[in-house]
Amino acid sequence: MSNDTNNTHDGSGSEYLAFTLGSEEYGIDILKVQEIRGYEAVTRIANAPEFIKGVINLRGIIIPVVDMRIKFQLGTPTYDQFTVVIILNIGGRIMGMVVDSVSDVTTLTPDQIKPAPEMGTAFNSEYLMGLGTVDERMLILIDIDRLMSSSEMGLIDRMAA
């Protein structure tokens, strides 16, 4: 059994939700996205790190919300009509991620994804899956599973407990 198509069904590619943080465009696996919501006020949690905006009640489930702009030190976040919360389902754990805006869903074939160079990006390159290129666009592909379950995010476990 060949291993090069283990995450696609017909070799045509994988779908990524494209979103913006600051001037950069990022992509995450669409299969991790449960829904997209407008930004709403969150309930702050005492002693939580600054990038944990707080929690929201999503149809009876209390979920933590991480502001990626604060997490990646992309300046002071502004909350406007474009600000969205991407609701993620990571291994059965529901959480929200605040981003500047969501652009679209992009299909990337394996040959459109290049390895991420070692560079001074806002976050550790171990969370990067690569760079997706579509025409003139470049998406920074984030391994959202690894990022959200990393030890630096581990406080999500403690908060949700």
**What are the tens digits of pLDDT across the range 76-105?**
888 999 999 999 999 889 999 999 999 999
> What are the CA-CA distances from residue 158 to residues 43, 75, 95, 98 (Å)?
16, 27, 13, 20
| pLDDT tens per residue, range 98-155 | 999 999 999 999 999 998 776 655 556 778 899 999 888 999 999 999 888 776 666 4
Q: What tokens appear for 103 in the block? A: 């652009």
Per-chain mean pLDDT for the chain: 84
Q: What tokens appear for 31 in the block? A: 């299969």
What 3-state class would DSSP assign to 93?
strand
